[in-house]
Amino acid sequence: MKQEDKIIIAIIISALIIAGSIFFSIKLTGKAVDNGYDNKPLSNNNLIGQHIVTKIIDGDTIIVEGENVRLLGMDTDERGYPCYNEAKERL
């Protein structure tokens, strides 16, 4: 086998390993999970002050008086993942 063929095979194997690592890291971390809630920014930013939390969705999402609110700087497991219940209870 020629040296060029060995290099090409090594490049292909390396690319497959990198692609597989990226794919499985996304799959295992759950970053692409759809939790069924609309995560768009609030249309009105007048939620400053005291308000009533009407529901806790998970460890980083709450509903405040009908508005879905994601907490900045928080990233917890979504429903169906190992620490979902603990994160939700803690919040």
What is the pLDDT averaged over residues 4-25? 84
Question: Are residues 26 and 46 part of one domain?
Answer: no
In this prediction, residue 35 carries a pLDDT of 52
Please say whether the dihedral angle defined by the alpha carbons of residues 39, 45, 51 and 87, taken in this order, is positive or negative.
positive
How many domains does one find in the chain?
Answer: 2
Average pLDDT of the chain is 78
Compute the half-sphere exposure of residue 19: CA atoms within 13 Å on the CB side of its CA.
6
Long-range contacts from 34-42, C-beta under 8 angstroms, 24+ separation: 35/61, 35/78, 35/79, 37/61, 37/68, 38/68, 39/68, 39/70, 42/67, 42/69
Question: Are residues 27 and 41 part of one domain?
Answer: no
Nearest to 70 by CA among 84, 57, 82: 57
> What is the tens place of the pLDDT at every residue in 22-37?
777 665 555 544 555 5
Give me the domain span that covers residue 17: 1-32
Question: Quick check: 11 pLDDT over 70?
Answer: yes
Question: Are residues 2 and 24 part of one domain?
Answer: yes
In this prediction, residue 46 carries a pLDDT of 58
Question: Quick check: 5 pLDDT over 60?
Answer: yes
